[in-house]
Structure 1
Amino acid sequence: MTTVEATRVSPDWLELRESADAAARSTELVGHLRRRLPARGRQVIHDLGCGSGAMGRWLAPLLPGPQHWVLHDRDPDLLALAGVRAPGPAEDGTPVTVETRRSDVTRLDRDDLAGATLVTASALLDLLTEDELHGLIGARAEAGCPVLLTLSVTGRVVLAPEDALDSRVAFAFDAHQRRTTQRGPLLGPDAVDTAVDAFRRGGARVVVSSSPWRLGAREAVLAVAWLNGWMGAAGEQDAGLAADAALYRRRRLREARAGRLAVTVGHADLLVLP
């Protein structure tokens, strides 16, 4: 069993995926959320693992009224980028304020989310271990506020046209997503089901919405980058696959660059209500 360190997320990758993320996230869940937020006063929104701040740039304009975003990340460079590219204004034109906090969101305690009216995260759940998930659930319970968790991978990948090796690459990639790190086994594509069960056992209501990436010719650059990462991780997990799939890799990348490959990557969004 391989043990690996957590890897740094590239700002270039976050920039490349931002528009696809925005198109995929569930606006239906935002509608549910709006009805549960306080009608008056300032919203205090904690964004966990904020990266470059894309979640705030997507969500802040969908919510009315004054908002104060607290952006959490352990990467100081990403935090600096998020602080410069602040979200807002709000839906009704109200200015949005921001503060950044360098913190490890896998080690939250009861004070870190004090005063929050909403907690958000994007593309985070599948990177957690089960213990870290329970830590997040405990911190949320202390805050007693809704949580919006978007773009957790589900393990569903569909490529068109199909190829006989698609399923083998997908299987190896999913195994890589569940790999054991120094923090423990990652949840990977099991994250959504595990989180829904854990939140519900804690007494919360959870609403789930599908939020897949749908990449076609207009998203060819992102599709190429995603394919390289997908096949690279699969090859790390299955050494035999790396040799068998050399022709497959070249063909798939050629198709993606030419805009002849349609890629659907399964994600799910979760809205957790107290």
Structure 2
Amino acid sequence: MSEVIEVSSEWLALREPEDARARSRELARAAADRLGPGPIAVHDLGSGTGSMMRWLAPLLPGPQTWVLHDWNPGLVERAADGGVPVDRDGRPVRVAIRSEELSHLEPGDLEGASLVTASALLDVLTLDEIRAIARACVAVGCPALLSLSVTGRVHLGPADARDDLFAAAFNAHQQRRVDGRALAGPSAVADARRLFVEAGWNAREETTFWRLGRHDPDLLAQWFDGWLGAAVEQRADFEVPAAAYRALRASHLRQGVLTATVVHTDLLVWP
């Protein structure tokens, strides 16, 4: 999986405030209501530098132990940078780190879990990898809060006739094959929900949004470059029209009028 997901700590830090604003607090409260009395153990899959922990820990009871699973040790080992978060009663959480691939998650990897979490993960997995997560969660019987999965829906402003063309190419890129792995992309949440429901579990979704604009031009610029770059990577014949489109959007960014609404889905599942 490491060959598929190559992100920098700088990108994760840049997007963390918008991630925190976008995630569903309603689903977080619903997850908290399904936890028993503490202590609790939260297993965060694809944790990166720990942004999910920093956002969710203060919304959950304690005492808490967070087990951070990630295949990139350079990211996960930075989870405690800037201090350890506290639970909703003000107690510091305990943090454990597991640097490992998630391609074949087993129930034993989640032993003792009270809650499983993930953020911006499902859409970069394959159906088999999502199935492995579902099977492991069902086996241990704990709820899972899976946030910020892409839906493929993006709304740019000012609107341009070419927006849908590049969006379709980006979505195809999200479902490409990489080293024999067929990524789930925008179908990931529907796949995950189906797998849990087939196991007899409950599922609840909330639509969540990144709302990018002049308040955070650096995030908007980097997101747009990545979005358009992926579209052109998928469709090399788009390179020439993409140059003019990029120039137009760069002008909009300089003028402070460029906006992007990126639609995600947060999913809570429980026995």
The AA in structure 2 aligned to 1:202 is A
Match of 1:75 among 67, 72, 81: 72
Deviation string for 1:221-261 (max 9, x for gaps)? 10100000000000000111111121111111231243211
Deviation string for 1:168-225 (max 9, x for gaps)? 0000000000001125210001111111111111111011001110011102110100
Q: Is the 8 A contact 2:118 2:145 kept in 1?
A: yes
How far residue 114 of structure 1 moved from its aligned partner, in angstroms, is 0.4
Are 1:147 and 2:144 an aligned pair? yes
Are 1:264 and 2:261 an aligned pair? yes
Give unpaired runs (5+ residues) of structure 2: none
Give the distance between the partners of 2:11 and 2:254, measured in 1 at CA: 17
Tell me what 1:158 maps to: 155
The AA in structure 1 aligned to 2:89 is D
Q: Matched residues, percent identical?
A: 49
- Secondary structure of the residue aligned to 1:224 is helix
Q: Is the 8 A contact 2:203 2:267 kept in 1?
A: yes
**What are the within-5 Å matches in structure 2 for residues 101-250 of structure 1?**
101-250=98-247
Give unpaired runs (5+ residues) of structure 1: none
Count of aligned positions: 270
Give the distance between the partners of 1:255 and 1:46, measured in 2 at CA: 41
Give the distance between the partners of 2:83 and 2:143, measured in 1 at CA: 22
How far residue 87 of structure 1 moved from its aligned partner, in angstroms, is 4.3
Deviation string for 1:109-147 (max 9, x for gaps)? 121000000000000000010111111111111111000
Tell me what 1:8 maps to: 6
Give the distance between the partners of 1:250 and 1:244, measured in 2 at CA: 10
Q: Is the 8 A contact 1:83 1:99 kept in 2?
A: no
- Secondary structure of the residue aligned to 2:79 is helix
Tell me what 1:20 maps to: 18
CA RMSD of aligned residues (A): 1.3
- Secondary structure of the residue aligned to 2:110 is coil
Farther off after superposition, 251-260 or 57-66: 251-260
Task: Please report the TM-score for the alignment, with normalisation by the length of structure 2.
Answer: 0.96
How far residue 104 of structure 1 moved from its aligned partner, in angstroms, is 1.0
Deviation string for 1:58-116 (max 9, x for gaps)? 00011122100000111111011113345421111122110111111222112100000
